[in-house]
Amino acid sequence: MPNSNKTYIAELKNNVGRQVTLSGWLYNSRASGKIQFLIIRDGTGLCQCIVEKAKVADELFSRLKRLGQESSLTITGTVRADERSVGGYELTVTDAKIVSPTTDYPITPKSHGTDFLLKHRHLHLRSQRQWCIGKIRHTIIDAIRRFFNDNGFILIDTPIITATAGEDLQSLFEVDYFGSPLHLTQTGQLHVESAAMSFGKVYCFGPTFRAEKSKTRRHLTEFWMVEPEVAFIDLDGLLELAENFVSFIAADVLQNNKSQLETLGVDSATLEKIKPPFYRLTYTKVADILTGQKTRDFLAQQLEELKNQKQQLETKIAELEKQQTGQLKQWQKDKIAAELIELRSTLGEVDTRIENNPKHAKLAAEFQWGKDLGGSDETIISQMHDKPVFVTHYPKEAKAFYMKTDRDEEGVVLNFDLLAPAGFGEIIGGSVREDDYDLLLARIAEYGLDVENYRWYLDLRKYGSVPHGGFGLGVERTVAWLTAEKHIRQCIAFPRLMDKIYI
């Protein structure tokens, strides 16, 4: 409904003292005798609107009092700056029109279980947390495009239906393509490599699919990946590109999403640290760290800290449970109930970490050179660092067929994974590509791939082959890391999970 008089909540700062009309939804409300406090959200922010019985018609006052959460309305009033108020501005209401009243909105401000919220994802997107994450995801995607566009990279849209497998054969989603078995792309890399031979510096950016049977907090079956590819680049050049790129994204989030980070409880100082140079470790060094005394001490100390945290949480929970039995107003009861849900959920997570600590310690101690790093190994290394860490030079057997072998060191490839710090784990995988025709052909055969599907890819090594490489950054993992969100299912509007698609 176009409305030239409409003001957005984000614009209230320019309208102090003026009368404005907001259009939005009722996020929350409370009444206290002759005054009502309505929190309105309009997509750009939240605003507390104060309705005094003496200043509006009686009928409107009582209709507003009965108005359910998520009712839509337009509301008119005078803007007042108030630091204590959500968003920093308030509206002293003079009039309102109810567009569509709502009753029994299923998601209340109290906490709900994950399954319930995923089933109500179409509504849950309106919650403050999801709104903040969505805004930050938008900034990240905008920063990704800007970084490459401003640095001379050309965007190439690669196909989603393909015959080639870029990564492991076990995680392909098959598509019946007019009777022929093809699959959904795992990566745009192979196609974008061809484009790099035309434009020099390119990137593709789109959805990718993995039928990985992983139910972890880091796995989706459909996720967004951006993949730059550069002709005439070596491993050092790739690491430099990746650290500049990730630092650029973090700086953009800091600049554009201060209030969302605050609402999510993210400490800006952790993002301010994301600046080049990042740490650099070889895989062999990581294997030594995992099996050495440093990791044993680190995990033992972590276990002590977790046990202390558990004790503090239990004390706090017991205190609140005691308070609950006293004489309280309804809003106080609700507040304690919501706090208890939060604390019990944190306690559950701490218990899981206490349980996992010895298992992870055992896996690390028994780590053998040659295996890919497991999720818990990555977590340990990333917990030991306060900035992202590059792990380079993995064993050839642990990685994809297209990675170039290190001609100076037997058995390893010129690749890297970038691990986000503080336990988050991998957000980027990349490598220099095998550019020798015969070696690549041999690797394709070794991996049991049908060489006929890779003739075109081999051609790139036949006609003007050059050293080249690139990487892929997973959008949802980056969003989860920068928003300190525990599970990446919260970092895409409609997540696709291994065991379920809800909506």
- Residue reference for tokens 């760290």: 289
Give the span between the Cα atoms of 23 and 275, in whole angstroms: 41
Task: Specify the residue, 69 or 221, whose C-beta has the smaller distance to ligand 4AD.
Answer: 221
| Residues in touch with ligand 4AD (CB under 6 A) | 166-167, 187, 189, 210, 212, 219-220, 223, 225, 227, 426-431, 470-472, 474, 476-477
Cβ within 8 Å of residue 259, ≥6 positions away: none
Task: Specify the residue, 167 or 485, whose C-beta has the smaller distance to ligand 4AD.
Answer: 167
Give the span between the Cα atoms of 92 and 86, in whole angstroms: 14
Check if the beta carbon of residue 42 is closer than 8 Å to that of residue 9: yes
Enumerate the β-bridge partners of residue 100: 72
Least distance to ligand 4AD from the beta carbon of 402, Å? Answer: 8
Give the span between the Cα atoms of 204 and 225, in whole angstroms: 8
Task: Specify the residue, 63 or 487, whose C-beta has the smaller distance to ligand 4AD.
Answer: 487
Task: Specify the residue, 23 or 187, whose C-beta has the smaller distance to ligand 4AD.
Answer: 187
Task: Specify the residue, 174 or 262, whose C-beta has the smaller distance to ligand 4AD.
Answer: 174
Least distance to ligand 4AD from the beta carbon of 433, Å? Answer: 8
Task: Specify the residue, 253 or 361, whose C-beta has the smaller distance to ligand 4AD.
Answer: 253
Cβ within 8 Å of residue 38, ≥6 positions away: 26, 28, 29, 48, 49, 50, 51, 64, 67, 75, 93
Give the span between the Cα atoms of 11 and 13, in whole angstroms: 5
Least distance to ligand 4AD from the beta carbon of 341, Å? Answer: 28
Give the span between the Cα atoms of 1 and 232, in whole angstroms: 53
Amino acid at 191: H
Task: Specify the residue, 60 or 141, whose C-beta has the smaller distance to ligand 4AD.
Answer: 141
Task: Specify the residue, 41 or 219, whose C-beta has the smaller distance to ligand 4AD.
Answer: 219
Q: Tell which residue, 392, 372, 388, has the closest CA to residue 237.
A: 392
Alpha helices (runs of H) in 257-395, residue ranges in sequence order? 258-264, 268-272, 283-291, 293-324, 330-365, 375-383
Least distance to ligand 4AD from the beta carbon of 466, Å? Answer: 17
Least distance to ligand 4AD from the beta carbon of 443, Å? Answer: 15
Least distance to ligand 4AD from the beta carbon of 398, Å? Answer: 12
Check if the beta carbon of residue 340 is closer than 8 Å to that of residue 333: no
Least distance to ligand 4AD from the beta carbon of 490, Å? Answer: 13
Total count of residues recorded for the chain: 503
Sheet containing strand 180-184, edge to edge, reads 161-162, 180-184, 174-177
Least distance to ligand 4AD from the beta carbon of 187, Å? Answer: 4
